[in-house]
Amino acid sequence: MTENIEIEFKNMLTAEEFRRLLNFFNVTASDFKKQTNHYFDTRSFSLKENGSALRIREKENGFEMTLKQPAPRGLLETNQSISADAAKDMIHSGKPIEGAVKEAVSRLIGNLDSLQYFGSLTTIRAEFEYKGGLLVLDHSYYLNLEDYEIEYEVADEEEGSKIFSALLEGLNIPIRPTDNKIRRFYLAKYHQLKE
């Protein structure tokens, strides 16, 4: 189990802006890796109401269960590696396995029996070092939607903001208010449930 504070800047992109960034950084198809996030919440979105999100991230090298919660700066992430079988069981049942993530979730919502699997979001991701931080280019698919995004993960919020803003300005990409993936997924899921 690990905990860390995540400081990142995000911006939604058009398909053309995404291609422009790929060309600018000489990113090729072989630089991309696939990951799938499997999301969980209660039918009444109890975790979301607490500003939190629970997911299992599936990558080539395994599975990790993560709870993200608001922190004074950034987000507090509680991470726990899990087996493929545990991930499969949780997707089927909606119930987290024993450990630090389950304990943190139970402090937020109490009744773990109300948790359920909401669906998945698959991202094709390229990431690389850029001026002291990690630059991420994402193309995501979820609930019959797709979108493009750039993220910049840093240790120093002030310096990271300057670098990120300068990059977008230099490539003539407007700054757009950008929700994180889980919020975009939840909004789409909420509309899907209301239809």
Confidence of residue 17 (pLDDT cuts 50, 70, 90): very high
CATH code of the domain covering residue 179: 2.40.320.10
What does the pLDDT look like over 46-62, one tens digit per residue?
998 888 999 999 988 89
Which pLDDT value is given to residue 72? 83
- Asked whether residue 194 carries a pLDDT value surpassing 90, the answer given is no
The amino acid present at 168, given as its one-letter code, is L
Give the residue-averaged pLDDT of 185-191: 85
Distance, CA of 41 to CA of 177 (rounded, Å): 24
Which pLDDT value is given to residue 70? 87
Q: Look up the domain containing 12 and give its range.
A: 2-194
Q: Which of 94-108, 112-126, 180-194 has the lowest mean pLDDT?
A: 180-194
- Total number of domains in the chain: 1
Give the DSSP letter string of 65-84: EEEEEE-SSSEEEEEEEE-H
- Asked whether residue 137 carries a pLDDT value surpassing 90, the answer given is yes
Query: Hey, CA dihedral for 188, 182, 39, 140, is it positive or negative?
Result: positive
Which pLDDT value is given to residue 110? 80
Answer whether 67's CB lies under 8 Å from 53's CB: yes
